[in-house]
Structure 1
Amino acid sequence: MAAAAALLVLAGCADRGSGAPSQGSSPGTKKVTLTLNWVPYGEHAPFYYGLKKGFYQDEGIELEVKPGNGSGTTIQQVAQNQTTFGWADTPPLLKGVSTGMKVKSVGVFLQKGPSSIEFLSDKNITKPSDLKGKTVGGTPGDALYAVFPAWLKANGMSAQDVKVVNVDAAGKIAALAEGKVDAIMGFFHDQGPTIEAKTGKKVNYLLYADSGLNMLGTGIVVNEQTLNADKDLTAKFVKATQKSWAEAAKDIPGAAAAMVELAQNEPPQEVLVKQLTQAIGLLELDAGAPGVNTEAKWKQTIDLMTQYGDLKNAGAPATYWDGSQAKSG
């Protein structure tokens, strides 16, 4: 943990409360902040791997990685210039833009969304309709909670078919493990390995993407002002992040080790390895480089959010996404 503080100081801690990049400690470098969607877990290991390997420094970026408190909050911080870049889920990005937030995605990395309903295997839940009459724990304000009614609707159910129990994000794992709820809303690659490590019980899940709601997942979000004023910085940040993810996919144990060294309050290393392994599977690397999206994928997500997620006055993909930053090679 001490090494984390030391390296992040070396990497350049950006000024608190301002997302505008400032001059770094070395000539020609810029201090940049990245706010995650949540407290560090395995999905975030590539950022620490990129720090460890110097991929961001190679692009003239002194990066500070900051924990988040939900994608919606991260997007709001980007919109208010409280952080340079955000790592956030796509559905709340669409909602944020529709309410007037001047933010854009510059590349979604998890091309298959990780949103899921998780439960212990002894619950004998194998399909969405098996949730009827059961209790599902969720955290108001997060992306999964917001989209859950859409997932129910997509699977021929209504909000009255299940009982939603509001649970603080930090308490969801305990609520499931202690039997206070039958299932929880969560990212399967985040909570799943953690629950298994803590309980010794197998966790199963219903992935939103496999049951009627295949939407883009997490990626890089930037304020339009930053994007327009410094496209070069944005392009360099995206390039370094693409390299970090591509190389981490080849060295999952090394990426997990880098996170243990540099992050704070991260899960145990063996859990990080499982979380990152599952996250890499959502990149769909056989379709191209990390973070490179297609208009078709964006349109599918927009259409689903319009149909099921109460997205009003939906625009074209370019309303939410600048596809010129993430390069395929």
Structure 2
Amino acid sequence: MSWINDQARRLHRRGMMAAMACLLAAGPAAGAENFKVRMDFSPWGMHAAMHLAVQKGWFEKEGLNVEVEDGTGTINTLQLLAAGRVDVGQVSVGTMAVAMENGLDLKSIAGFARTGDLAVMTDAGQKVASPQDLRGKKIVCFATSPWVPFIDPFLKANGMSRGDVNLVMVSPSAMISTYASGNSDAFMSQAPFGVPMVGRARPATSLLLEDSGISFPSYGLAATPDTIEKRGPALAKFVAVQVRAWQYLYDGHLEEGVQAILARRPNANLDAEVLRGQLEAYRPFFNSPTVKDAPIGRQYDSDWAAAIHSMEQAGMIKPGRKPSDYYTNALLPD
């Protein structure tokens, strides 16, 4: 009987140890708050802060369990976000503002690339110095590009119309290859994304939409007002981690961001040089257009007022909108 009792005690101890081992293995993730994050597109340079924060365990240390999904375009991410299928979207917040006109209930909770990045990229060898030099050029774009509503205002601002250029719409996947192969003179995209993409095949220079007096904010984080209200404290931790990650990257650690993307998306056939180039190219776009030395992530009425004016002029939003309709700084660290 004593032998049986000893066996029972040993089995009980083993069971307790196994249970403790499972709890220890779960680590900080046990009881963590889950966040599903949807990116704008397939992996590229602007995804560095998100992947780096996951890889380094920065979210986990804040009690957050973050799942990062690749996207198929900003519009699709915004739709999934508004439908409650994901919790946070990394998107063009300018495109988010337009989506709100179509009934999506969203708000920007952090602005990273606050200076407009939309541009016309042209072959560097053509020495295109101004928009007027685009006369007669073949320019490719795609139908769902954030560029589309701005094409006519851009041309008008520079004394031209569509009849002055040869504008061709192609599929999103064909735009870069059409330009790189020499089948167009120029393409419309985000400059810090596009210029590094074509650097080896056909180096390009860019004409920024912003330089024609048309403002359109770029990448940031968005969520629904419902998520902001119900999960504010956890969402504030999430935003703080991302602000810290971008500060870390631009404080001399870009290579760690490149390697984090490559490590977490090993089957995406990514080019480290392109990722590095995109991160470097985005650095000046993190500046606020109207506020000097603005902290990363913070948004301003003055920036959004200029964007609202441009979007109204382009017919993208109805008159009467105010900056606070589109963003909040309430979740940002002090």
Report the TM range for the smaller structure's normalisation. Answer: 0.7 to 0.9
Deviations 1:240-274 (A, max 9, x none): 11111111112011111111111251531121111
Aligned Cα root-mean-square deviation (Å): 1.9
Matched, 1:256 2:258: yes
Look up the SS of the partner of 1:184 in the other structure: strand
Matches within 5 A, 1:178-327: 178-197=181-200, 199=201, 201-250=202-251, 251-263=253-265, 264-265=267-268, 267-284=270-287, 287-327=293-333
Structure 1 residues 101 and 45, CA gap change in structure 2 (3 angstroms): same
Matched, 1:68 2:71: yes
- Residue 87 of structure 2: aligned partner: 84
1:25 Cα shift?
Answer: 8.6
Deviations 1:135-156 (A, max 9, x none): 2111111212333333223333
- Residue 16 of structure 2: aligned partner: none
Confirm or deny: 8 A CA contact 2:117 2:208 kept in the other structure. Answer: yes
Matched, 1:131 2:134: yes
- Measured in 2, the distance between the counterparts of 1:128 and 1:33 equals 41
- Measured in 2, the distance between the counterparts of 1:164 and 1:69 equals 24
- Residue 57 of structure 2: aligned partner: 54
How many residue pairs are counted as aligned between the two chains? 303
Structure 1 residues 306 and 184, CA gap change in structure 2 (3 angstroms): same
Confirm or deny: 8 A CA contact 2:149 2:314 kept in the other structure. Answer: no
Deviations 1:151-204 (A, max 9, x none): 22333322332222111111111100222211111111112112113x1x3211
The TM-score, its normalising length taken from structure 2, stands at 0.85
- Measured in 1, the distance between the counterparts of 2:57 and 2:151 equals 39
1:323 Cα shift?
Answer: 2.0
Looking at CA atoms only, which structure, 1 or 2, has the larger radius of gyration? 2
1:316 Cα shift?
Answer: 0.9
- Measured in 2, the distance between the counterparts of 1:124 and 1:102 equals 44
Look up the SS of the partner of 1:153 in the other structure: helix
The TM-score, its normalising length taken from structure 1, stands at 0.86
| Residue identity in the other structure for 1:232 | P
Matches within 5 A, 1:4-153: 26-153=29-156
- Measured in 1, the distance between the counterparts of 2:38 and 2:32 equals 19
- Measured in 2, the distance between the counterparts of 1:160 and 1:83 equals 42
Confirm or deny: 8 A CA contact 2:29 2:64 kept in the other structure. Answer: no
| Residue identity in the other structure for 2:138 | T
Confirm or deny: 8 A CA contact 2:28 2:61 kept in the other structure. Answer: no
Confirm or deny: 8 A CA contact 2:53 2:242 kept in the other structure. Answer: yes
1:30 Cα shift?
Answer: 1.9
Structure 1 residues 80 and 129, CA gap change in structure 2 (3 angstroms): same
Give aligned-pair identity as a percent. Answer: 24
| Residue identity in the other structure for 1:260 | L
Structure 1 residues 266 and 146, CA gap change in structure 2 (3 angstroms): farther
Q: Which moved more, 1:150-159 or 1:126-135?
A: 150-159
Q: Which moved more, 1:307-316 or 1:176-185?
A: 307-316
Confirm or deny: 8 A CA contact 1:36 1:67 kept in the other structure. Answer: yes
Look up the SS of the partner of 1:140 in the other structure: coil
